[in-house]
Structure formats: structure tokens, C-alpha cells
A and B are shown apart, each in its own frame.
Chain A
Amino acid sequence: MRIPFTLVFVIVFCLPKFVNAAKLKIVDQYNQPLANVVVGFTHADNKSPANYLAIMDQVDKQFVPHVLIIDEGQRVQFPNSDNIRHHVYSFSKAKPFEIKLYSGTPSNPVQFNDSGLVALGCNIHDQMIGYIYVRPTNERAILSNQLGEVEIPKLSEVQIWHPKQQGRVDTRQRIELPKAAWQEEHYQITLPIQEVMPAKSNKFKSRFK
């Protein structure tokens, strides 16, 4: 019952329209639209950080949403919608924490005081991976929708990040946007992603001939 509500909430509050905005479309190397791309850009409006409780739900042994963008100092609640227990943890520099085996909603939400990327895992379910991007105060960050689109002001550069991006998973990529880019309806960026998400066991290539 809560899920739809949460979704509506996120869409309404997290994707404000920008004056003089333009659309940016992010596709993978196969020209497929990429959702869940965190597009960050500097914005000097000094807006005070959100003080509402963000939700990182766990449904069907997955973090929902897959990627969550929050402000510095914002607190996140980790409710467990599954009927099994989870052990949510993070070893990320921005916020290492651990919520030991629990079900239902843990008593204390987790506050993220430092900006940065936080990878979430479940110690019991390896395939459960979620990400929280804690944006600094001078930065706006928008998540691409299912069409791979974000609406942003006509800027000269953006930082993009995707959980499946190639190379190191903990760094964002700086994308320069030429002026010409904004002549069109939307400017398209290609972000190559990993072919297959590795499932560790038996998937490595043996060196043994």
C-alpha cells in the first residue's frame, strides 16, 4: 500500500522543472535508453537540504528504488517489505553502517551526513544491491527515467553515474556538453555499461587450460 505512495512522492518532489530547461537522453552502447542514471550538476541556489525521511524499501529481495538520491544530512528509513529478514550494510566511505537482521521497519532511520555514493548490500542476499547518492549542497542530481531522459538546465557539463557503468563503480564521469547540444530537443549521451553483471560463482574464467 505504501509503495505507490512513495513512488508518487519521489516523482513529485524530486524532479522539479527547470526554467530554460533542456532534455538529456542517456543510452547505452546499444542505443538502449538507460534508466537510473544519476545526472549531477552544480547549482548554486543554496536550497536547504531536505529534512524528510527518505525510504529505501526492500521488496522481493531487491532494494527499491534501485538508486536513491538524497541530500546531505538527510535520513533514510530501510523498511523490510519482505517476509524474510535482511541484514543491510554499507562499507562505503560516505556512510558505513549496518542494520543487522531485521524484519519490518527498523527503529532508527540512518542519517547520511557526508555526500558521496553509498553502495548498499544485504549480508544474507548477495544479489541485493542498492545505491544511495548523497548529493552535496551545491549540486543537483536527477535520476533518468525509463526512457533514459532527464530534464536539466542548459549547462556546459554534467557528472553522470550508473551502477552498471564500465570501469570503477565508485566514480562519476564528467560529461561536457557543447553549446550546440542544446539546439535540439534533447541531447543524447552514450554511457557504455557492463555486458553482464557478474554473478561470481563459476563465472570467472579459469586460467587452467
Chain B
Amino acid sequence: MALRTLNHNIFRLVGGLLVFTTFAILFAVWLATSNHARQQVERELQITQSVFKQVISSREQQLFNSAELLTEDFGFRQAVATRDSATIMSVIENHGQRISADIMALITLDNNVVASTASSLQSAQTFPQQQLLKQAIQDGGAIFFLPLGERLYQIILLTVDAPTPIAVALVGFEIDLELVEDLKAITKLDITVEFNLKDEIKQQISSLPEGISASLSEQTEWDYSFFRLPFVHSQMYASEKFEISELDGQKVWIILSANVQKLFADFNFLQFKITLISMLSIILTLILGAIFSKNLTLPITNLAIMAQGIARGDYNKNIQIVANAKEINNLSIAFKSMQENIVSREAEIQYQASHDLLTRLYNRYEIANIIEQQLTEKQSFVVVGIKINDFRRISDTFGYPIGDACLQQIAKRLLVLRGQSARIGGSELLWIPKSTDVSQIDIYDMRQSLEKTYYFENNIEVNLKISVAILNLPDDGIELDTIFRRMNLTLEDAKSQANYLQIYKQSLEEKYLRKLEILNELKNALNGEDTDLAMFYQPKYHIQRTRVEKMEALIRWHHKKLGFISPELFIPLAEQAGLINQLTNWVIRRVTFDISHWHGQATDLQVAVNLSVHDVVNPKLQRVILTALKEFKVAQNKLAFEITESDLMDDPQTAIEQLKLLRSAGFELAIDDFGTGYSSLAYLKSMPVSELKVDKSFVLNLATQKEDQTIVKSIFSLARNFNLQLVAEGVEDLATLELLAQWGCDWIQGYYISKPMPADAVSGWMNEYSKQNWTKKCEESGL
């Protein structure tokens, strides 16, 4: 349904109610007036009827009186008493004229007409109304209506007393049009006298035109229909018919007729006036209603326009609505405050959208805009990326609130510096110095400023280091994605620089791309059947038992296109890319497979596989190992595992838990690269390991380096206290071996014994060298 305007609604309501009310009133008025008119007609007819009767009665009396005077006239009586018909005839004519009688006659007591002035009543006839005559003789008189010929007469019979009745005098007055007109003048209504002759033919004397009076006779009941239009009356007259006389079936009726037309004309005029007034009031009210509703809705319409303006984001329009209603005024005020609130909220949203909520610096999107802006301005400028080193450690150590507070402090210090600054990641910040010419000193000052000790509540002091990456724009990138990628990899590289500073150069990206390629190829290598990856094995020689009993499995990758790829390169990449578990799985299966194919001396070998910390915390690891052993039917004691000390120390608790599970499954465990990972002695105590491998950096130059000797000796004494087997890697000459043997080292691993060899070389090598005494050989060779 289409919505209507409020204006329209109000207008409809008011107009509808008004029209309804008006028509109800009109209807009521119409009914009332029609009814009233009808009643008036009825009443008029009734009154007139009684008036008419009264008039007739008094006329009768009058006629009677004059007739009586006539018959009592002595001369008349004398003349009648002569019984001379000529005399009598003359006297009735004479006396009849005196009272203007239309008929005079004399009738004997025995009903013979003696003389008559009417042709319809001849002398020597008998009088037709014997009964009336008798009555008249007895009562002295009678009066009645009698049609004679085609005329109607009011007849008075009176005895002629001399002094007793000697004859009856008949005096007749015609009911003629003149009389009817007279009666009409008295009653103010049209009168029709109707009578029937003996032959049933009705005769009328009427004040109305003949056609109308004839129709009245047929239709004496007035049709009082309520549902006829007030202005239309087919019937012109309302009539009342009543009988006034009956004589031997000869009846006389009177029809009183009121001219309804005239009566209704008044009412019609009244109705017309009321209708006109109603219509005028409807029109007036509708006009006023329209103005009123317009006035009411105009401010609302204006407000709606304002609201649309606000929706478009036009907040500056001043809301100045002049409303004549309190509610509208309140609405206007509400709109105003809403507009203000929207403005402030949008400002807040805009601020939030462009700022980092924690540090109040710009966020990454905003700084991207700024960079883009500056790029379009064709300026050359410097972008400095800042990353807090080991920020996670700060949060871990002091808690997130301090971490956040730390970031806020850094941001504050950064804001002090001239230029624009933003936070683009967790602990990564970006600074665009104001000056386009940024010197080393500027960077140094910045570093100094940010690396100053931070103080927090509860005497917490935080010292941090930042890595700084510098990009010169637009030379180092013109696209935002490129810029941020290069910023990232430069920062990543800076982290590994001694001064934690790196300026972007092309090679950095190349390195990065190579890493990506390696990673990609590694995926292929792990998934493909024909792999470039291979396991190499380096023997571990037991000094006291003078034989090789163990080997360390080392992964080698000689890629067809990329050439030799160091595990030190691709293993961290695999760890970063989440491929390390897959890689370890491959290694375990591969090693197990190789063991199962060895023969001779090699079948006794125990092979140690290097595990990353990601492997250690992988709960599926043990199942993978056991599945592989089962598949290639290799005994459990043929496998051992090595974990680097630094890996362990990242999350010692979890690592220890997992290692304990491996240990309880019967695998021997060794700590690799010991001496580089700042191991806590407390952890070392609880480590479920049986071997400690001294990092080869201490061993390589052991024979010449006194410091190394000291370190190695202390490690050895430590290990002995924990009852751990000692393994030295990187042994390349006899002198080192002897030193180690002297200090009680258990196992030797290094080029002096053998380089890592491919799997298929292991059996042969073992058959040849497994039982060789390398100390003696040295002696021999020395000899």
C-alpha cells in the first residue's frame, strides 16, 4: 500500500468526518422536515376537516334558520292554507327568492308535491324520500343532501304549521362551485364535493381543475415515502376524503386537498438552504483543514529534507524549523541534537578509522593514504620502519597491560619527533620524518629516544631494542603493497643485523624471493614421489668402546635448479611456513626406510633424527614414529632424537612434557648444540635426555682455543653431574679427539671420523670402519 502524506491523512480524516457529519445532519434534517411536512399536511387536513364540518354545520344551521323563518311567515302559511296551487306556486317562488333558495317546493303531508320550482321535482309527483318526509313531519324538520337531476342540493324539509303541520315545505340550496370556492376561502384548502347519482356515476364539484380532482377521488391515501428525493414530488396534492352523507345508497364525499407542492416548496427551500450552508461549511473547513495540516506538516517535511541532508552527510545545515506545535518543536530540537551527535560521532568514527586506538598514532590504512598522498605529490621522502625486538617477551614477562603501556610510551616519544607516525602492526611502527633528508644522526637520535628505559608502575623498568628499516621513496617502491612488503623484509633483515638497522636494497628482496622459491620447491619436494631431498648419515664414534655405534641423520637438499640448499636456510623457512611437521614426517619415514635396508655392521646402528621444537610439541609425532617403525619393521631402539638447546629454551615446560612422553616410549634423546642456548640449569636437571651434544663452535678449534677448552671442560663436568653421555661434534683432528678423550668425552662426531654419507654408503662404510680405533690410527699415522 502506498503511504499517504500526513497532510493527506489529516485532511482525509477531517474532511471525511465533516462530510459524514454533514450528510448525517442533512439526512436528519431532510427526514425531520419531510416528516414535519407530512405531519403538517396531515394536521392541516384534520383541522380543515373539522373546520369544514363546523362550517357545513353552521351553514346548515343558517340555512335552516332562514328556511324556518320563511315557513313561519304568516303570509306564507296563509298562502299555503289557501290550497290554491297557483297561489302556492307563486308564494314559493316569491319566498324562495327571499332566501335565495335554489329549489322551493311544497309537499303535502301524504307525500304529494303540490308545487315545485325545480324541473326535477314536478308537482303532482310523489316526493322520493318518504321516510325523510315522515321524519320531518314528526320532528318538525329535516336537513340532508340530495342529488336532483345532476346537481347536489342541501335540502331542508320544514312543516308548515297552521299551527299544526298542514304541509311540508322543501327548501333546497345547490352545492355549487361558488359554495365550494367560498369554503375554500375559509378552509384555505381545495375542496372537492363528490356524489354519486342513482346510476353510480360520480359527479364532482371541485375548486380544482377537473383532471386533478378526478385523480384525487381514486387516490385519497397520500404516499408518504421517506426515501423519495425531497425535491421531487410527483403528487401535487395531499387529500383527505370523507363521507358526509348517505341516503339510499346515494353518498356524498368531501375531498380536502392540500397543495403539497407549495408546502414542500418551503421545505425544499429550507433543505436547499441547509444543504448550501453544509456545502459551504465543508468547503470552508476543508480549506482551513488543508491550511492547518499544511502548517502542521510543513515543518515535518522540512525536517525530512534536513534528515535526508544529514543522510547525505551534509551536517552543516542549520536546523531552523519554525514549528507552531510543541511536539514538532521538540522534534526539531531532537533533530538538531541528533545532527550534532552524528557530527561528533562521525568525527570519532573517522578518528578511529584513521587512528590506532591504543597508541593514538595513525593506523596502517591512514599512513598508507599519507604515503600515497606524498607519492602523488612526487616528493621523495624517507619512510622509517620500526619494530620492537622480542616485544612478545615483554608481554610475556610483564603482562599485556605493560606491553600496551610500553607501546603507548613509544608512540608518545615517536610523536615528539617531527613527522608523521603510525602503528602498522603489533609492535611495528612507521615514521615518516618531516625532513626529506634523513641523516644517520637523525636515525641514531630516534633510536636513542625510543630505546631509553621505560618506567612503569611497581618499579617496572623495561629496556628494549628496536630494529629499524629505512626505505627511500619513491626509489624503493611506488606501490603501497610493495612498500609495505619491502618494509617488512627490510625489518626482518634488520633484526639479524648487528646494529639492528637495514636500509632497503635490491638484494634484500632477491633474498626474500629466493626464500619464497625455496619454500615453494620444498612443498613440491615433500609432495612429489621423485624428491631431491636426501638423508645423509654421520657416524658417532664411541671413544672408550672404540667403535661406531650411532649415526646422526642429516637432511641434504640438492635442487636441480637452485643447487645445494642449506638446511640452515630451508628448515627455518619450513618452520615459518608450517611445513616442518611434514618435513619431519618425511625424514622419519626416510630414516626408518634407510635403516631397514642396511646390512652387515650397519644393522646395529642407532640413528638420531633432529627434531624441531614444532615437532616436539606436535602430539601426532609419536604416532608417526611408531607407524614408520612398524611399516619398515625397525626396532624401536634403532631411533633416537636430538633437539637443539635453543629450541628447548623457547618453551621449556611444554618441551619437557613432550620429551618425557618420547622418553617413556623408550627413545633416547639428546640435547643438540649445547652451550648456545643459555640453558637454565634447573631445566637441564629435569630434561628427560641421556646425551648432551656440545656445539661444534666450541669443538672446531678446541685444540688451539683455551677459552673453548674451558667451556667444554665445564660442560663436561656439568654433564657428568647430571649423569649424561657427552657427544662432541665438529671433531676434525686427532688433537681435539685426544683432548676430548682425556676429558672423558663419550662420543665423537666429525670429519675426522667421516663426513655425512648417503644412506647407501652406510653399510659399506660400517663394514670397513666400524671397528677402527681412531685414536690408534692417529697414533699409527703419527708414527
A binding-site residues for B, Cβ under 8 Å: 89-92, 96, 119-123, 126, 128-129, 163, 168-170, 194, 198-201, 203-209
Contact = CB atoms under 8 A, between A and B. Distances in A.
Contacts of A96: 81
B139 interface: yes
A204 B139 contact: yes
Interface in B98-124: 109
A169 B165 contact: yes
B244 interface: yes
Contacts of A90: 162
A198 B140 contact: yes
B245 A209 contact: yes
Contacts of B142: 204-205, 207
A209 B164 contact: no
A119 B243 CA distance: 42
A93 to B, nearest CB: 8
- Which of A128, A170, A207 neighbours the largest number of chain B CB atoms within 10 Å of its CB? A207
B404 interface: no
A204 B60 CA distance: 12
Contact of B77 (A91, A120, A129): A91
B251 to A, nearest CB: 10
Contacts of A201: 65, 68
Contacts of A129: 163-164
A203 B136 CA distance: 10
Nearest to A128: B163
A204 B245 contact: no
Contacts of B80: 91
Nearest to A125: B163
B516 to A, nearest CB: 135
Interface string B124-151: 0000000010011011111111000000
A91 B77 CA distance: 8
Contacts of B138: 194, 198
A120 B165 CA distance: 12
Contacts of A89: 74, 162
A120 B163 contact: yes
B141 A208 contact: no
A202 to B, nearest CB: 8
B323 to A, nearest CB: 81
B164 A208 contact: no
Given A91-B77, A163-B164, 19 more contacts: A89-B74, A91-B80, A92-B162, A120-B163, A121-B161, A126-B161, A129-B164, A200-B140, A201-B65, A201-B68, A204-B140, A204-B141, A204-B142, A204-B143, A206-B60, A206-B144, A208-B145, A208-B244, A209-B243
A98 B68 CA distance: 22
Nearest to A124: B74
Contacts of B244: 208-209
A85 to B, nearest CB: 15
Contacts of B60: 206, 208
A52 to B, nearest CB: 27
Contacts of B68: 200-201
B164 A200 contact: no
A41 to B, nearest CB: 24
24 contacts: A120-B163, A126-B163, A129-B163, A129-B164, A163-B164, A168-B109, A169-B165, A194-B138, A198-B140, A200-B68, A200-B140, A200-B158, A201-B68, A203-B139, A203-B140, A204-B140, A206-B143, A207-B144, A207-B245, A208-B57, A208-B60, A208-B143, A208-B144, A208-B145
Contact of B81 (A91, A163, A208): A91
Considering the complex of A and B, which 3 residue pairs feature the smallest CB-CB distances, nearest first? A121-B163, A207-B144, A91-B81
B247 interface: yes
A66 to B, nearest CB: 13
B166 interface: yes
Contacts of B654: none
A209 B246 contact: yes
Which of B80, B138, B246 has the most CB atoms of chain A within a 10 A radius of its CB?
A: B138
Nearest to B53: A208
Nearest to A169: B164
Nearest to B242: A209
B218 to A, nearest CB: 22
Nearest to B109: A168
B653 interface: no
Contact of A198 (B57, B64, B139): B139
Interface string B143-178: 111000000000000110111111000000000000
A208 B56 contact: yes
A50 to B, nearest CB: 26
Nearest to B146: A207
B143 A207 contact: yes
Contacts of A169: 164-165
A206 B157 CA distance: 11
A194 B164 CA distance: 13
A91 B87 CA distance: 15
Contacts of A128: 163
Nearest to B56: A208
B164 A119 contact: yes
A196 to B, nearest CB: 9
A85 B700 CA distance: 200
Contacts of A121: 161-163
B139 A91 contact: no
B451 interface: no
Nearest to B162: A91
Contact of B164 (A122, A123, A170, A205): A170
A109 B597 CA distance: 205
Contacts of B64: 204
Nearest to B80: A91
A201 B143 CA distance: 12
Nearest to A201: B68
Contacts of A119: 162-164
B247 A207 contact: yes
Contacts of B46: none
